[in-house]
Amino acid sequence: MSDRKFIKSLGKGIAIMELLGNSPEPLSLTQIAERMETNKTTAQRFLYTLMELGYIRIVTGKRYMLGNKVLSMAFQFLHSEGVFSIARPFLEDLSNDLERSVSMGVLDGTEVLVIFRKERTRFYPFAVYVGSRVPAHCSTMGKVLLASLPLERSRELLDQMNLIKVTTKTVVNKNEILKDLKITRSRGYAISDQEFSLDLYSIGVPLLNHEGQVVASVALSLNVRDKGNKKTVEEALGKLFKVGQGISQGLGYKGSYPAIPS
C-alpha cells in the first residue's frame, strides 16, 4: 500500500492478530514468520509487543494465540450493538425451552462469524463457539445472510468462497446454491439438511432492523431424526419464528415475519 498515511508496522501487527484469529490452533514463531513472509526476528518483535499489550499470549510449546484483551474488546463491541443485547435473553430462553443448541451469526467476508452460541448437543467433530467462523454456503445462518444480499453480491461471494463438501450432502454447485438461496428468500427462512453435519437438521431465521435490513441470523439445531417428526419440526419452527420476530421488533422492525427482503 503506497498511501503515506498508512502505518505499515501497525498494519503488520493487526495482520498477525488476524492470522492467529483465523487459525484453528495456536501457531509457532516459525509458522507466523513464514505466513507473514518475514524473518523470525521481526516476527518475534511484533509478538513481544502484542503480548506486552495483552492482545496475544503464549501457550504450551511456545505457540501463540489471541489474548483475553481481544475477547474483551469483542464482547464490548457486541454489547454496544443492539442486536446482541436484545437477542441474548430470547436465545437463552429458546435453547432452554427446546433443549437445543442455538447460534447467532453475522456475515464476515465469505464466512459466518458466530457471535452467540449456546450448545446443547455437539453435532460437529470440531468445537463451534463465539468467535468461530463457519462456511456460509452450507450453514443455515449463512444461507439466510447470503439470501438477504442482492443477487450479484451473492454471486461475487460464491466466486470467492472455497466451496468445500463438509459432508456428502453439502451442495457445492454454484447454480444449485443460488436456487436454494432463492427458495430461502421466498419462504423467509433457511434449512440445512445434513449439509454441515450428517447428524444435523438445522433451521435458520433472519433478524431485521428498523430499515428492514437483515443484520444477523439465528440457527436452531435439530437432530436429523427429528425432521421425520412433523410435530417436533412445527413446534421448533413456531418457537423460532416467535423469537426471531421478537428480536426483530426489538430492533424496530414492523413488517411481516419471517421475511428476507431482497
Residue 261 in any domain: the answer is no
Residues 200 and 115 in one domain: yes
Residues 162 and 246 in one domain: yes
Domain boundary among 43, 67, 91: 67
Q: What pTM does this model have?
A: 0.74
pLDDT tens for each residue of the chain, 262 residues long: 457 788 888 988 999 998 988 787 889 999 999 999 999 999 999 999 999 998 898 887 789 988 877 766 666 665 545 688 889 999 999 999 999 999 999 888 889 988 889 987 665 555 677 878 889 999 999 999 999 999 999 999 999 998 999 999 999 999 999 999 999 999 999 999 999 999 999 999 999 998 999 999 999 999 999 998 999 999 999 999 999 999 999 999 999 999 998 7
Residue 76 in any domain: the answer is no
Residue 256 in any domain: the answer is no
Asked if residues 206 and 148 have their Cβ atoms less than 8 Å apart, the reply is: yes
Number of domains in the chain: 2
Across the beta sheet with 111-118, the strand order is 133-135, 111-118, 102-108, 214-223, 200-208, 190-193
Residue 125 pLDDT: 52
Q: What share of the chain is helix, strand, coil (3-state, %, to 5)?
A: 45, 20, 35
Residue 238 in any domain: the answer is yes
Asked if residues 43 and 30 have their Cβ atoms less than 8 Å apart, the reply is: no
Residues 85 and 144 in one domain: yes
SS (H, E, C) 116-170: EEECCCCCCCCCCCCCCEEECCCCHHHHHHHHCCCHHHHHHHHHHCCCCCCCCCC
Residues 63 and 152 in one domain: no
Residues 103 and 188 in one domain: yes
**Torsion over CA: 250, 231, 102, 135 (sign):** negative
Residue 79 pLDDT: 54
Residue 95 in any domain: the answer is yes
Across the beta sheet with 56-59, the strand order is 27-28, 63-66, 56-59
Residue 137 in any domain: the answer is yes
Residues 138 and 221 in one domain: yes
Q: How far is residue 183's CA from residue 178's CA, in Å, rounded to a whole number?
A: 9
Q: Which three cell numbers stand for residue 68?
A: 483475553
Residue 232 in any domain: the answer is yes
Give the pairing of strands 200-208 and 214-223.
antiparallel
Residues 27 and 130 in one domain: no
Domain residue limits at 20: 8-67
Asked if residues 98 and 120 have their Cβ atoms less than 8 Å apart, the reply is: no
Residues 104 and 137 in one domain: yes
Q: Collapse the DSSP code of 255 into the 3-class scheme (helix H, G, I; strand E, B; otherwise coil) and give the result.
A: coil
Domain boundary among 67, 93, 115: 67
* Alpha-carbon 109 to chain mean position: 10
Residues 176 and 105 in one domain: yes
* CATH number of the domain within which 50 lies: 1.10.10.10
Residue 109 pLDDT: 84
* CATH number of the domain within which 106 lies: 3.30.450.40
Residue 143 in any domain: the answer is yes
Residues 99 and 204 in one domain: yes
Residues 139 and 244 in one domain: yes
Residues 30 and 151 in one domain: no
